[in-house]
Amino acid sequence: MLPDSAGGYLAYWMLFVSILALFNTIQNFVTLSLTKQIYSARPDQVTALTSRTFAIWTLLSAIVRIYAAYNITEVNLYQIAIWTYIIAWLHFVSEFIIYKSAKIGPGWLSPVIVSSLSLFWMLSQYNYYTQQNIRKY
């Protein structure tokens, strides 16, 4: 069952991103190859342990975003979902700028683009979605 869109497409986007994150969670338990594409400047630092840790972090983010997608007008869930994108963006950008473990390429660009787009979309539509819950009462 699809989430109630509350008159927009953000909930569907968040569900789509979450499904991709579930795939990413599974692949992190199975192989290191895609994770090494993200951290392509230092693939030697990608280990089975770091990959499993990344998998759990990704799974937690997916769960939060699924809950937020199905409850898009709930302000607390909306805010927590925003934080998942902020944390993701900060992580990937810091790995590129500070830690130098990532370099510009498809593996790194994908999560940066998704987190940036999602964060911008959620922030720009914050009042639209969160005020709907207030108008119900």
- The secondary structure of the chain, three-state, reads CCCCCCCCCHHHHHHHHHHHHHHHHHHHHHCCHHHHHHCCCCHHHCCHHHHHHHHHHHHHHHHHHHHHHHCCCCHHHHHHHHHHHHHHHHHHHHHHHCCCCCCCCHHHHHHHHHHHHHHHHHHHCHHHHHHHHHHCC
First-residue to last-residue Cα distance in the chain: 26
What is the tens place of the pLDDT at every residue in 15-59?
Answer: 999 999 999 999 999 999 999 999 999 999 999 999 999 999 999
CA angle 70, 81, 97 (to 5 degrees): 145
Give residue 100's pLDDT: 98
Give residue 7's pLDDT: 87
96 touches 133 (CB < 8 A) = no
Q: How far apart are CA 34 and CA 36, in angstroms?
A: 5
Give residue 134's pLDDT: 65
What is the tens place of the pLDDT at every residue in 47-99?
Answer: 999 999 999 999 999 999 999 999 999 999 999 999 999 999 999 999 999 99
Q: What is the dihedral of CA 81, 48, 50, 83, to 10 degrees?
A: 0
| Single pTM value for the model | 0.92
Give residue 136's pLDDT: 56
Give residue 6's pLDDT: 83
Confidence tier at 135 by pLDDT (50, 70, 90): low
